[in-house]
Chain A
């Protein structure tokens, strides 16, 4: 499918040698929203939670985030926001998969220091799924490269899809689903939010949401 059909008017291209970035209102909107949200969480303070299980007892029911953990978490979520913003604007298939894998690692990193073992458990499971899905993700991109000889999305969108490209795109779809933890794999990732430090935890959700939107665009570009 053509870039213009999906993303609106082509506002311009940034040719960086082999990699050509193309700017459409669709990409720019996603990019700007993610950067705005990243700026928002860079200046916000973490929330404090009250554990419902300890509500009618006299024990301390507050779950707080200490200074060191807070700083580490904020840093990782800012990087995560920048990485997903990069995935929004990139014009290169493999860069997209790399940004995606980076977002996956950072998602694990954000919850790596929490005190709840259940959250760590689900982060571990999510990490395993993400690692297993790097095979279809990178493999799919490599198969598309082998079948067409290019990774540039603007060139790929002009080509008609051969069976090998379709196979690569299906592999990539499986990889994207696993790496962002949606649909069949969401069970482990849903538990990862159950920890204090709200604005930073939300980036885990937001990044996978945006990346799915962008992945749909990329797969349509490659396939049609």
Chain B
């Protein structure tokens, strides 16, 4: 208590109030909404409020509590969405015609945009993002570069990605893992080469995160385009 600044201690109560209020608003929203998918998404908001309250404690012990809390939250969301999917599948199995309802579009009119910027801009933005990510290195850089790859993957409409690319991305991920491990080892074995070790680890992490995020994007597009 002695070493914690007063400013941080006084943040505790407002943080708890904020968490409880967010939880209250989310439960109100759940009570109002009647569609199951929306309820599921809103329930996740209550989980976020839980993270608020736990992280308000602000010690390293609280940090150890946040991770399992997050994992539990994620697992519950996955389990419930799996239940929802299974139930819809059973319903369709029992009554196949229920699936043939016309789906509604978000837009009031038929939506088609034919502009050159829609095809050229994403490439450029993706390139800038990847370049900036490499410049940043480390975890942040990986996330930025991965965002660039996702943007590129989403903007390209081509279907059926060749297996070679997926394998290649996975291979890069493996090499990045090795770089990271080697960098980590160098830290302990030869501490005088710390700069080399740091760069190895940073580049490994960059490639790792970028390829992971990129893979998510690629798989997501595969899923979306499957009609």
Contact = CB atoms under 8 A, between A and B. Distances in A.
Interface of A: 94, 98, 101-102, 104-105, 108-109, 112-113, 115, 117, 120-121, 123-124, 127-128, 130-132, 134-135, 138-139, 141-143, 145-146, 151
Contacts of A113: 86
Contacts of A117: 87, 90-91, 94
Contact of A128 (B39, B57, B86): B39
Contacts of B54: 138-139, 142
A151 B61 CA distance: 10
Contact of B80 (A108, A135, A139): A108
Contact of A132 (B19, B27, B61, B82): B27
Most A C-beta atoms less than 10 A away, residue of B27, B65, B83: B83
B33 to A, nearest CB: 11
Contacts of B47: 131, 134-135
A142 B65 contact: yes
A102 B12 CA distance: 28
Given A117-B90, A120-B87, A134 B72 contact: yes
- Give the interface size bracket for B toward A: 35 or more
B49 interface: yes
Contact of A138 (B16, B27, B50, B77): B50
B219 interface: no
Contacts of B46: 131-132, 134-135
A145 B39 CA distance: 31
B125 to A, nearest CB: 36
B122 interface: no
B53 A127 contact: no
B5 interface: no
B142 interface: no
A131 B73 contact: yes
Contacts, number: 104
A130 B50 CA distance: 13
Task: Identify the 3 closest CB pairs spanning chains A and B, nearest first.
Answer: A139-B53, A127-B80, A120-B87
Contacts of B50: 134-135, 138-139
A121 B39 CA distance: 14
Given A134-B46, A142-B56, A98 B68 contact: yes
Interface string B79-98: 11011101100110010000
A193 to B, nearest CB: 16
Interface in B149-186: none
A112 B78 CA distance: 11
Contacts of B83: 108, 112, 120, 123-124, 127
B79 A109 contact: yes
B62 interface: yes
A108 B78 CA distance: 11
Nearest to A119: B87
Contact of B79 (A108, A139, A141): A108
Given A124-B84, A134-B50, A115 B76 contact: no
Contacts of B87: 117, 120-121, 124
B94 to A, nearest CB: 7
A17 B128 CA distance: 49
Given A131-B43, A131-B46, A138 B65 contact: yes
A130 B77 CA distance: 10
B81 to A, nearest CB: 9
Given A104-B76, A131-B80, A134-B46, 12 more contacts: A105-B76, A123-B83, A124-B83, A128-B30, A132-B30, A132-B43, A134-B76, A139-B23, A139-B54, A142-B62, A143-B16, A145-B57
30 contacts: A98-B68, A104-B76, A105-B72, A105-B79, A108-B83, A115-B90, A121-B87, A123-B83, A127-B79, A127-B83, A128-B40, A128-B43, A128-B80, A130-B76, A132-B43, A134-B46, A135-B19, A135-B23, A135-B53, A138-B50, A138-B53, A138-B65, A139-B19, A139-B20, A141-B65, A142-B56, A142-B65, A143-B16, A145-B61, A146-B56
